Amino acid sequence: MIPLKRAPDGGLTLSNLGLLGLGIGAASLSITWGLYNIFMPLLLREFIGSSGVRGAIMGIDNVLGLLFVPLIGAVSDRLDGPLGKRLPFLMVSMPLAALFFAALPFARASLWTLLAVDIVFLLAMTAFRAPLAALMPDHVAPAHRPWANAVITMLGAIGGALALVLVAPWSDHALWIPFAVAGGVTAIALVAVRAVSQPHPPYVEAGAVQEETPMVGALLREARRVFDARSGHVIYLLLAVFCVFFGYSALEAQFSTFATEEFGLTGGRSALMMGATVVGFVLLALPAGRTVRRLGEVNTMRIGTLMLTLWLAIGTFVTDPWVLAVFLMLGGASWAFVLVPAYPAVVNQGGADQTGFYTGMYYLFGAVAAILAPAAVGWAMDVLGNVVLLPAVAVSMVLGLLLLTVAQARLARVARGAA
C-alpha cells in the first residue's frame, strides 16, 4: 500500500504512485468504454439492421447508470467492513466486468446470448464506477482534489486514446484481441487500485445515516438537502454539470455524422479530427488543475465554458476540416478546465460521510445528459441541418456558464453566512 503524503498546508493527499494507481483504474474504464463504443455496434449489426435500435441498446449503459450509480454511491457510504466502503464493490465487480467484456465476441451464437453477456457486463461496470471515483476524495483533502482529479482524468484520457490507436486495430487480426486486452487491463487495474487504497482512508467517516435507517428514506433525505434553499448552490452546480455534459456528449455522438456529411470525410478521418480534442485535453489537464488552486473549482469551470463557447462559435464558420481540427483541439483544451474541476466541485459539497452520494449525483446528472443529448441534437440536425451541431453545443455551454455564475454567487453567500 502506497503511503499518503502531507502537503505543505497540512492536508493529506496521495503520493504520485498513489495517483498513478487510481489513474490506471480510470484508464481501464476509458479503454473499456472506448472499445465497447467501437465494437459493440458491429456485434449487434450481425443481428439488428436498424441503426436506431442498435443505438438504443448502446444507451443501456447510461440508463443503468441513471438508475443504479446514485444508489450504489449512497450504499457505499453506509458500508464499513474490513475492506472499508468502496473496495468491496471493486473486488467483486471489476473481475466480473473484465471476464464478461472479454466474453462478448464469443457470445454471438444468438442475439439473446450476446445481450445477456452485455447486460451482465454493463451491470458490473455500473457497480464499480461510483466507488472507484469516490476513492480519490476519500484519500485526498478537499483543497488538493482538483489537482488529483486532473492527474487521474488525464491518465484516463490517455488510456482512451491508446485504446483507439493501439488496441482497436488488432481487431483486423482477430476480433477477440481488443476485448481480451481490455479485460486484462481491468484486472491489472484492480491490483493497482487495491495496492494504493487504504480500506479506511483519512477523509471517510462512518456515515451519519445509521444502519437501521431505511435506505430509501435516507436517500430521499439527502436528495432534499440538494434542493434545500439554504444550500441551493448545489442544484445549480448539478444543473451546470448537466448542461456542459449535454453539449459535449452531443459533440462526441454526432461529430462523425457532421464531418462525413458536411466535409465528405471517411469515418476514420472524422475520428482523427475528434481525436484532436483528446490531444488538447491531455496537454491542458494538469495546468487546469493548477488553475483550480488559484481560482477555485467553479471559476475555473466558468473560464473553460467561456473559452469552449468561443472556439465553437468560430468553428461554426470554418469550411476547412483541418482548420476546424485546430479549433477542436483548442476546444478539448478548454474542456479540461471544465471537466477537471467538475467532480471535485460537486463532491466537496458533501461531508466525508456523503462522498458516495454526491459522486452518485454527479454521475446521475451526467448520465441523463448523455442519454438525452445525442437524440435531441440529432433531431435538431435532422430538422435544421448538420450545421446546427456546433451552435447547439455552444448554447449548452452558455447555459452551463450562466448556471455556474448563479452557483458561484450562492456559494459566496453561503461562505459569508458561515463567516
| Burial of residue 332 (number of CB atoms within 10 Å: 0-12, 13-18, 19+) | buried
Asked whether residue 201 is domain-assigned, the answer is yes
Kindly report the length of the chain.
419
Cα separations in angstroms, 249 against 24, 99, 243, 346: 23, 28, 10, 19
The whole-angstrom separation of Cα 180 and Cα 163 is 12
Look at residues 175, 205, 235 and tell me which one is the last residue of a structural domain.
205
The distance in angstroms from the start CA to the end CA of the chain is: 39
One domain, residues 164 and 114: yes
One domain, residues 375 and 251: yes
**Which residues on neighbouring strands pair with residue 4, listed in sequence order?**
14
Asked whether residue 213 is domain-assigned, the answer is no
One domain, residues 152 and 198: yes
One domain, residues 97 and 136: yes
Asked whether residue 210 is domain-assigned, the answer is no
Q: What pLDDT score was predicted for residue 383?
A: 87
| Cβ proximity of 363 and 69 under 8 Å | yes
Q: What pLDDT score was predicted for residue 273?
A: 82
The whole-angstrom separation of Cα 304 and Cα 190 is 32
Number of domains composing the chain: 2
Q: What pLDDT score was predicted for residue 205?
A: 62
38: domain CATH number is 1.20.1250.20
Q: What pLDDT score was predicted for residue 225?
A: 63
What are 138's three cell numbers?
476519500
Residue type at position 139 = H
Q: What pLDDT score was predicted for residue 24?
A: 93
One domain, residues 68 and 117: yes
Provide the phi-psi class of 207: left if phi over 0, else alpha when psi is between -120 and 50, else beta.
Answer: beta
One domain, residues 378 and 257: yes
Asked whether residue 7 is domain-assigned, the answer is no
Q: What pLDDT score was predicted for residue 213?
A: 44
Asked whether residue 147 is domain-assigned, the answer is yes
One domain, residues 235 and 333: yes
Look at residues 150, 176, 205 and tell me which one is the last residue of a structural domain.
205
Asked whether residue 214 is domain-assigned, the answer is no
Q: Whole domain around residue 284: which residue ranges? A: 225-419
One domain, residues 248 and 371: yes
**Which residues on neighbouring strands pair with residue 5, listed in sequence order?**
13
Asked whether residue 200 is domain-assigned, the answer is yes
Asked whether residue 4 is domain-assigned, the answer is no
One domain, residues 29 and 150: yes
One domain, residues 200 and 263: no
One domain, residues 161 and 36: yes
Q: Please give the average pLDDT of every successive group of 10 residues along the chain, which has 419 residues.
A: 63 78 92 83 81 69 74 75 86 96 94 93 89 87 84 88 80 88 96 89 60 50 59 85 94 81 76 82 92 92 97 93 93 95 87 75 87 84 90 97 93 69
One domain, residues 201 and 238: no
